Structure 1
Amino acid sequence: MNDMNINRMLAEMRAMSLEAGNRVQETGNGGNTDFSALLRQTIDSVNASQQTARTMAETFETGESGASLAEVMLASQKASVSFQAMLQVRNKLVDAYKDVMNMPI
C-alpha cells in the first residue's frame, strides 16, 4: 500500500512539473498568461497544499481519518517543500527588484 502512495505522489509531482513547464513555454512564446496570474495561481496552490496537510494532521490526531502516519507526514513535507520553493522565488524576485532599483538612469 505504501508503494502505491509513493507512486501516486511521484505521478502528481511529475504532472505538476509538466504543467509548470507548459506554463513557462506559454509565457515565453507570448502566451496570454501574465506573471501576476501565474504567481497568484502558485500561491493558491501552495496554500491549498498547506490546508490539506493541516486538515489531514488534525483528522489523524483525532482518529477520524483512515490515513496512515506516512500519508500525513508526506502531505506535510510536500506542503513544506512547496512553501520553501515559493519563498526562494520570492527572495530572488526581491533581489532582482533591488538590482533594478539600484541601476543608474
Structure 2
Amino acid sequence: MSQGVEFNRLMLEMRSMQMEAMARTKPVASATPEVNAPSFSDMLGQAVNKVNETQQASSQLATAFEMGQKGVDITDVMIASQKASVSFQAMTQVRNKLVQAYQDIMQMPV
C-alpha cells in the first residue's frame, strides 16, 4: 500500500514540476525577447543539476544506512533510490527526444 502512496506522491511531484515548467514558457508570438527570461541551455543545465543532486542525496542516504547511522530507515533509502532512478530515466528520455529532433531537422531538405 505504501508503494502506491509513494507512486502517487511521485506522480504529483512530477506533475507539479511539469506545471512549473509550462508556466515558465512564454508564447511564441512575442516579438521582443524578455531580458530576464531563462535560456533553454540554462533550464536544461538546471534540470541536469537537479538530477545529479537527487542521485548524490540517494547515495549519501544509502551510505548512511550501510554505516548504521540512527534515524536512517531502509524505506527512506529505497524511496530516495527510486526517485534518483526515475529522474535519471526521465532525463535520458528527454535527451533521446532532443537528439531525435535534431536528427530530424538535419535531415530536412533545404
Category of TM-score, reference length = shorter chain: 0.7 to 0.9
TM-score (norm 2): 0.77
**2:43 paired with 1:38:** yes
Greater radius of gyration (CA): 2
**1:2-56 per-position Cα deviation (integer Å, ceiling 9, x unaligned):** x7xx67x92x763553243132232133661221111111101100000000000
Aligned length: 99
Higher relative contact order (CA 8 A, sep 6+): 2
AA partner of residue 54 (structure 2): S
The residue correspondences of 1:69-84 to structure 2 (distance < 5 A) are 69-84=74-89
Distance in 2 between residues matched to 1:95 and 1:65, nearest whole Å: 47
Distance in 2 between residues matched to 1:75 and 1:102, nearest whole Å: 41
Distance in 2 between residues matched to 1:91 and 1:58, nearest whole Å: 31
**2:50 paired with 1:52:** no
The residue correspondences of 1:20-39 to structure 2 (distance < 5 A) are 20-29=18-27, 32-39=37-44
Distance in 1 between residues matched to 2:22 and 2:63, nearest whole Å: 36
AA partner of residue 22 (structure 1): E
Distance in 2 between residues matched to 1:53 and 1:18, nearest whole Å: 21
Secondary structure of residue in 2 paired with 1:21: helix
The residue correspondences of 1:60-99 to structure 2 (distance < 5 A) are 60-99=65-104
More helix by share: 1
| RMSD of aligned alpha carbons | 2.3
TM-score (norm 1): 0.80
Q: Percent of pairs identical after alignment?
A: 43
User: Which segments of 5 or more consecutive residues in structure 1 lack a partner in the other structure?
Assistant: none
AA partner of residue 36 (structure 1): S
Q: Give, in angstroms, the shift of residue 102 of structure 1.
A: 0.6
Secondary structure of residue in 1 paired with 2:71: coil
User: Which segments of 5 or more consecutive residues in structure 2 lack a partner in the other structure?
Assistant: none
